Amino acid sequence: MKNIQKNLKIVVGSQWGDEGKGKWVDVLSNDCDIVARFQGGNNAGHTIYINSEKHVLHQLPSGVFKNKISVLGAGVVINPVALFEEMEKIKNKVSLTAQNLWLSSRAHVISPWHIFQDGQRESSTAQPIGTTKRGIGPTYADKASRVGIRMGSYVDDHCRMGWIENLKQESPKFKEFYEQHKDEMARFHEVAAYLKKFVTDSERQILENIKSGKNVLAEGAQGTLLDINFGTYPYVTSNSTISSGALASLGLPPSCVGDVIGIGKAYVTRVGEGPFPTELFDDVGKGIAQKGHEFGATTGRPRRCGWLDLVALKYAVDINGITNLIINKFDVLNELDTIKFATAYEHPTLGKIDYFPTEIKTLAECKPVYESTPGWKKEIRGLRSYDIPSELLKYVEIIESYCQSKVCLIGTGPGPDDYLDLN
Ligand code: IMP
């Protein structure tokens, strides 16, 4: 495929998720024809404000309100019942048809059994991951073990029942589960007929559209540091969250990639367990959590908050090939006298390092080396580009210079128009 157009934009999270990708996918989808989620499942929670009304999407791509073609690609795991409920919730706002919603026939299905296993594993182990308990890990595990069920088979009654019968024969525990969760399983079966019309070879259709010059946005969930290979393993999600994962998950060639947009926050948050070098345990951290409403959109869990970690952000820029950074939530730092950021780590045996370690044991032993810059001490919501405080611009320049990547937009508040274009 010579001369393929570079009309695929990939949006990835550049921290531990919750960077505010939903808002930007919604904004960026204005210029796109297709918005495709490429990984994860309903563990994600993308918050979008439409006409001041708050919407939290867990599975549907954030471009759904723009009447674009919405896709859940091959690398996504789909909870059919939760998806049906999400579609019902927005049906008065968006009319979803087989023409504008494509569910990949290859996407794996999250069943009540997977959700049950996730919960069991988390509550019975001495070292929980802090998962969202949405069945994500067990579904991807079954996919890799080649015993899962894909959407194409799920919506085929014969295949779906065959999968259930196999499980019953092979696992007495599943048989027992099935007997005890009859209502949930009945719902799981029931929804299949409704979703059938949306299931398609979405990968072939996306590629055809790319070839014909249509613009496609690949929407990631979670973030780079939760990537199964490059994140803080084992405290990660169960699939690839980075830009190259988008290609593998949507079956697209590297030659069609135009921009890779990395979303971050002006500070860092993390939910669940695992090392977090710049985590704050003081009043500053508490203030950030409060002002930034840092509670999980999916589970409601409080998020751990900390200063911006430039070592980790540069790592994300490098492995994703980020061409443009969008940094959210500068407004949360409005009142601070001084803003700190980590530019290196100090390790007891390795000394001062400026790279993200491969092992969590090493990362957990690292102490952040901080530098600081003055805060802007001013409300920035509603400001015009020419009014941006010089202290804020300096902070942006520090990020750009360390990461060697342009910060093109900054978030100044939760609304769809609360941002400043720095181009
Ligand atoms: P899982 O994806 O539910 O298996 O959870 C694995 C890890 O990823 C846990 O630390 C979760 O808190 C984290 N995680 C999963 N989805 C999100 C998300 O959308 N935002 C932030 N963290 C997430």
Query: What pLDDT digit, counting tens, does each position of 122-180 carry?
Result: 999 999 999 999 999 999 999 999 999 999 999 999 999 999 999 999 999 999 999 99
In percent, the amount of the chain with pLDDT more than 90 equals 87
Determine contact, residues 409/419, Cβ cutoff 8 Å. yes
Distance 164 CA to ligand 1 centre (A): 28
Determine contact, residues 292/332, Cβ cutoff 8 Å. yes
Distance 25 CA to ligand 1 centre (A): 19
- Report how far residue 204's alpha carbon sits from residue 105's, in angstroms, rounded to the nearest whole number: 11
- Cβ of 237 closer than 6 Å to ligand 1, yes or no, is yes
pLDDT band at 330 (very low <50, low <70, confident <90, very high): very high
- Report how far residue 95's alpha carbon sits from residue 30's, in angstroms, rounded to the nearest whole number: 18
How far, in whole angstroms, is CA 48 from its chain's centroid? 14
- Report how far residue 357's alpha carbon sits from residue 380's, in angstroms, rounded to the nearest whole number: 36
- Report how far residue 337's alpha carbon sits from residue 252's, in angstroms, rounded to the nearest whole number: 47
pLDDT single digits (tens) 271-297: 999 999 999 999 999 999 999 999 987
- Cβ of 42 closer than 6 Å to ligand 1, yes or no, is no
- Cβ of 263 closer than 6 Å to ligand 1, yes or no, is no
The reported pLDDT for the residue numbered 53 is 84
Residue nearest to atom 16 of ligand 1 (CA): 43
| Average pLDDT over every residue of 375-393 | 93
Distance 369 CA to ligand 1 centre (A): 27
Determine contact, residues 272/131, Cβ cutoff 8 Å. yes
The reported pLDDT for the residue numbered 2 is 62
pLDDT band at 410 (very low <50, low <70, confident <90, very high): very high
Instruction: Please state the pTM of the whole predicted model.
Output: 0.95
- Report how far residue 321's alpha carbon sits from residue 75's, in angstroms, rounded to the nearest whole number: 20
3-state SS class at 61:
coil
- Cβ of 363 closer than 6 Å to ligand 1, yes or no, is no
Which atom of ligand 1 lies at the shortest distance from residue 298's CA? 19
State the chain's mean pLDDT as an integer. Answer: 95
- Cβ of 45 closer than 6 Å to ligand 1, yes or no, is yes
Residue nearest to atom 21 of ligand 1 (CA): 17
Residue nearest to atom 1 of ligand 1 (CA): 131
- Report how far residue 280's alpha carbon sits from residue 305's, in angstroms, rounded to the nearest whole number: 6
- Cβ of 131 closer than 6 Å to ligand 1, yes or no, is yes
β-bridge mates for residue 262, sequence order: 12, 325
| Average pLDDT over every residue of 23-51 | 90
Distance 218 CA to ligand 1 centre (A): 19
Q: Does the pLDDT of residue 21 top 80, yes or no?
A: yes
The reported pLDDT for the residue numbered 50 is 78
- Report how far residue 219's alpha carbon sits from residue 208's, in angstroms, rounded to the nearest whole number: 19
| Average pLDDT over every residue of 181-207 | 97
- Cβ of 226 closer than 6 Å to ligand 1, yes or no, is yes
- Report how far residue 327's alpha carbon sits from residue 349's, in angstroms, rounded to the nearest whole number: 33
Could you list the active site residues?
A: 18, 46
